[in-house]
Copies of this chain bind each other. A is one copy, B any other.
Amino acid sequence: MAVARRWVLGLAGTGLAGIAGGALIRGARDSAATVTGPPDAVPFHGPVQAGIVTPAQDRLHFTAFDVVTKDRDRLVRMLREWTAAAARMTAGRDAGEIGAVAGILEAPPDDTGEAIGLPPSALTLTVGFGPDLFRPGRFGLSGRKPAALADLPHFPGDLIKPAISGGDLCVQACANDPQVAVHAIRNLARIGMGVVSVRWSQLGFGRTSSTSATQDTPRNLFGFKDGTRNLKAEETDLLRQHLWVQPGDGPEWMTGGSYLVTRKVRMLIETWDRTSLGEQETIVGRTKGVGAALGRSGEFDEIDLTARNGDGDPTIPVDAHVRLAHPDENRGARMLRRGYNFVDGSDGLGRLDAGLFFIAYQRDPRTAFVPVQLNLARLDAMNEYVRHVSTGLFACPPGVTGPDDHWGRELFN
């Protein structure tokens, strides 16, 4: 059953490969069926979706889709097909039963082939539903729209481009090999042809968050450690409180799910690079090397927002990023972040088009992302160096529990 691409290829390399043709390659698969499964696969089935508290993989391909059909049944059928393909691909298998190269010559393959031979690479595929999907008169879902999926407000300074914002559906593909993430998105888009079309898509080349205590804190393109105080997979009590939708929070179909906010944050890195080290640290509120809060010495030392320096001024300035984002300044608000660095070429003005693709999961954006971002947008000293150009909001349901379950089953039930 769960034969991974690389086992198939391993056999193919031993001599069978010489004989091109579907039957023999399928034979290779069958004979490898005793292999128990690839070692770097993240289980797809479970009570919550993988790709949220899963230790953040190195690479990202995030895609938002518009639903282009009006046919509810067709959409549900596609979600069922997506789920089956996602279960296969996260296990390192081809997207379809036949596969990339074992089909008949007269038909298009049911896998596009560029991941042949690549291991699962910790691929996770996480789905979310955007607010527009619930619009009255569309798919009969208006009564099921969670209050927490209320449109985000306009934040001061926002320079949002609608063409790369929003979307009816999203899929977050994370993997340690970008080819595996790209392959997964591309095959879901292929399967969805005629039902969905790609609205916008973002690659991230390097994680900027750790989501597990087992991971080091990575650096963003300001050169600073990012997400030191992130929620972590091990903090189960905090996750219940801040990450996972709880019974009674809203419609039942979202219990065990989480709300996803994406923001594409262009960084003006050339301007930042002309700023002194001291100024950079003052803006962030942490040292650049160790990542300690100003006035402290270790990365994980508790931040003291009340500390003052010899002049009586706050050690962490009133407009420092860490202060304004701190739970104590936001009624305890916390999120699980799993953002990625991006470079999208250049901007036509002689600069790299680079920054942070911010991703945050939370139990309710109205008491998490929204107040924190309002605080930052109004006061953050970092605003001089960032521009928010894309925004997204999605309701990510709980996990797919087994082969009979599928993405959106409870929602469309």
Residues of A within 8 A of B (CB): 12, 17-20, 25, 59, 61, 63, 66, 68, 100-109, 111-117, 163-164, 177-179, 182, 185-186, 189-190, 193, 197-203, 205-206, 216, 219-224, 269-270, 273-278, 280-281, 287-290, 292, 297-298, 341, 343-346, 348, 350-354
How many chain copies?
A: 2
Query: Which of B216, B269, B289, B344 is close to A12, meaning CB atoms less than 8 Å apart?
Result: B289
- From A177, which residue of chain B is reached at the shortest CB distance? B206
Nearest-Cβ distance from residue A204 to partner chain B, whole angstroms = 10
7 contacts between A and B (CB under 8 A): A63-B346, A63-B352, A108-B276, A108-B277, A114-B220, A114-B222, A200-B346
Known pairs A182-B341, A206-B178; A101 contacts B277 (CB<8 A): yes
Known pairs A20-B297, A108-B273, A270-B190; A182 contacts B197 (CB<8 A): no
Does A223 lie within 8 Å of B113, measured CB to CB? yes
Known pairs A190-B270, A288-B101, A289-B17; A343 contacts B61 (CB<8 A): yes
Known pairs A203-B205, A224-B113; A290 contacts B18 (CB<8 A): yes
Query: Which of B12, B61, B220, B290 is close to A290, meaning CB atoms less than 8 Å apart?
Result: B12
Does B107 lie within 8 Å of A276, measured CB to CB? yes
Can you add 9 more A-B contacts, CB < 8 Å, to A20-B297, A106-B278, A200-B345? Answer: A17-B289, A100-B289, A108-B273, A112-B221, A112-B269, A179-B205, A182-B221, A182-B343, A199-B350
Q: How far is the CA of A350 from the CA of B193 in the complex (A)?
A: 10
Q: Which residue of A25, A202, A297, A343 has the most chain B CB atoms within 10 A of its CB atom?
A: A343
Q: How far is the CA of A270 from the CA of B164 in the complex (A)?
A: 20
Nearest-Cβ distance from residue A70 to partner chain B, whole angstroms = 16
Does B105 lie within 8 Å of A281, measured CB to CB? yes
Does B116 lie within 8 Å of A343, measured CB to CB? no
Known pairs A103-B277, A193-B270, A205-B179; A221 contacts B108 (CB<8 A): no
Nearest-Cβ distance from residue A350 to partner chain B, whole angstroms = 3
Does B106 lie within 8 Å of A223, measured CB to CB? no
Nearest-Cβ distance from residue A175 to partner chain B, whole angstroms = 11
Nearest-Cβ distance from residue A93 to partner chain B, whole angstroms = 15
Q: How far is the CA of A106 from the CA of B280 in the complex (A)?
A: 10
Does A292 lie within 8 Å of B346, measured CB to CB? no
Does A113 lie within 8 Å of B288, measured CB to CB? yes
Known pairs A179-B341, A203-B343, A343-B182; A219 contacts B274 (CB<8 A): no
Does B344 lie within 8 Å of A109, measured CB to CB? no
Does A18 lie within 8 Å of B114, measured CB to CB? no
Q: How far is the CA of A102 from the CA of B277 in the complex (A)?
A: 9
Does A109 lie within 8 Å of B277, measured CB to CB? yes
Does A345 lie within 8 Å of B12, measured CB to CB? no
Nearest-Cβ distance from residue A364 to partner chain B, whole angstroms = 30
A59 CB contacts on chain B under 8 angstroms: 178, 205
A289 CB contacts on chain B under 8 angstroms: 12, 17, 20, 25, 100-102, 116
- From A112, which residue of chain B is reached at the shortest CB distance? B223
- From A204, which residue of chain B is reached at the shortest CB distance? B178
Known pairs A105-B276, A201-B343; A114 contacts B223 (CB<8 A): yes
Q: How far is the CA of A65 from the CA of B185 in the complex (A)?
A: 32
A182 CB contacts on chain B under 8 angstroms: 205-206, 221, 341, 343, 354
A273 CB contacts on chain B under 8 angstroms: 108, 112, 186, 190
Nearest-Cβ distance from residue A21 to partner chain B, whole angstroms = 9
Does B17 lie within 8 Å of A350, measured CB to CB? no
Does B206 lie within 8 Å of A179, measured CB to CB? yes
Query: Which of B113, B163, B178 is close to A219, meaning CB atoms less than 8 Å apart?
Result: B113
Query: Which of B205, B276, B287 is close to A205, meaning CB atoms less than 8 Å apart?
Result: B205
A199 CB contacts on chain B under 8 angstroms: 346, 350
